[in-house]
Amino acid sequence: MLTNWVRRFQDYVAHSDPRTALANLVALLIVSNQPFYPLYFYWLVGNAAWITAVTFLSTPFFFAVPAVARRNALIGRLLLCATGTLNTALCAWAFGAASGVELFYLPCILLGAVLFRPAEKIGAAIGVGLPMITYLVLHGRLGAPLHVFSTAEYSSLMSLHAISVGSLIALIGYSFSSRGDMRA
């Protein structure tokens, strides 16, 4: 039974274009981690973890990346960049900038840089520019978060997000650099 799930996952992620396959993998990795996010939050801040429910608004969009990419690889990759950016903005509004969740703009920028070929300049400009512009426009302008955490809780959330972002950047970078078929 587990092998069926693994095969289905591999089939859903698979794409003839290695950059799109990478986008599909990252999208489903995020989907597979989203159910655990509230648990991490609960461990760090207790009952205030209810606030993480907003993250599930992005789940269908991350999950749709491979399906969209089957029809149009470029649009699928752009969907990942846009969903990551908008999810980060939503979380920044919900948790507050002090939570460190805005660090997730960094892997969004990295995805914009690696998912598009040199000939796809407009896609790359959108992929890189959207998280940068979103951060510049929204940072400090979102108002009060849905819940104000203590200084110690914000410190713990900052650590959680920094470790998560570092891990995601490492995964994206390793996956990109380890595939020789990504050079073109």
Q: For 77-111, write each residue's pLDDT tens digit.
A: 999 999 999 999 999 999 999 999 999 999 999 99
The upper half-sphere exposure of residue 136, i.e. CA atoms within 13 Å in the direction of its Cβ, equals 6
d(CA 108, CA 177): 17
> What residues in the chain have per-residue pLDDT under 70?
180-184
pLDDT score for 181: 64
d(CA 126, CA 54): 25
pLDDT score for 38: 96
Write out the residue range of the structural domain in which residue 163 sits: 2-182
pTM: 0.94
Q: How many domains does the chain have?
A: 1
Return the closest-CA partner of residue 87 out of 108, 69, 72, 70.
108
**Which residue carries 């000939």 as its tokens?**
119
Kindly report the number of other CB atoms within 10 A of residue 7's CB atom: 10
d(CA 151, CA 42): 16
